[in-house]
Structure 1
């Protein structure tokens, strides 16, 4: 299972069970790890509205690796597990993960368990990445529907992020090292 700490704005859109799980209808492509927390557990997510489209930005707590899902509709929120797994695996592929790292990531995926506990340091990184994304869309005069979310996730991961007590980390490098262990 993967813990997902959601903002109140995102949590209001999610159809959750009493255990914090999603009521999705779409089968998960990779649902190997359902019991304990996996290597990839610990994410924060925020609902962004860009050009009147619902987007979700996920940030991994330890590595600050971003994953972006764009243009979600109301039924898509019930299947956020599926959207997260798809976006994560494709973003890792775009980031240059090798076959061994992709296999580790696939084995560590599981259903999302959502709550509202938040880490202010991760939220600060998420807000910075949100501003960078909004600036890119505005500055390059892009339509959010034409934006490539996987490449954009890699673009956001290729800049240093501050982590309280650790200094700076490079999200792409940190995630690939985590999966390479």
Structure 2
């Protein structure tokens, strides 16, 4: 499983069961068929729902690398398909960041269903707030319409921004995620 620490605002929008899992769908059945892992290095993401240009968007940041994901213009059915949307945005954002075949294979090997809880870390939440401000500025400055975006390029753009992490100094999310995937391949 991949642990997602959601804000309460996001958690209330997600159709999770008592264990925090989203419903199985045709698109996500393969995730549930994967063998369980004791330790998954891709696990541990924080997620927050924000409204930009009157559209629901989810911003995510990987706890260790601060690698960002942007899931724009979500509707109610998209929240139920969050497993599929996560895989799509994660893999395509990696591609936009210049990931090679070995990185993508390593990432695919560790993909599992999302398990949602509300345990949050203030440091990562601070990163999400900065990402929201930067993304909002990008939309305004470049005159972009969020309804016409996939989020891949925005995630790659945010991944090229250094992040300060308490006790670790400065991280470059793109570099940190690609190094993590290189170790896993």
- Say whether the fold is shared (TM-score over 0.5): yes
State whether structure 2 residue 82 is matched by structure 1 residue 80: yes
Aligned length, in residue pairs: 181
Whether the aligned pair in 2 keeps the contact of 1:26 and 1:82 (CA below 8 Å) is no
Structure 1 length-normalised TM:
0.95
Find the aligned partners of 1:35 and 1:19 in 2 and give their Cα distance: 17
- RMSD between superposed Cα atoms in Å: 1.3
CA distance 1:130–1:19, change in 2 (3 Å):
same
Runs of 4+ in structure 1 over 6 Å off = none
1:68 alignment partner, SS class: strand
Equivalence for 1:122 = 124
Structure 2 length-normalised TM:
0.93
CA distance 1:129–1:8, change in 2 (3 Å):
same
Shift in Å, 1:34: 3.7
Q: Deviations over 1:127-162 (max 9, x none)?
A: 001000011111222111123410110000001100
CA distance 1:47–1:117, change in 2 (3 Å):
same
Structure 1: runs of 5+ lacking an equivalent: none
Find the aligned partners of 2:30 and 2:94 in 1 and give their Cα distance: 15
Whether the aligned pair in 2 keeps the contact of 1:3 and 1:37 (CA below 8 Å) is no
Equivalence for 1:28 = 28
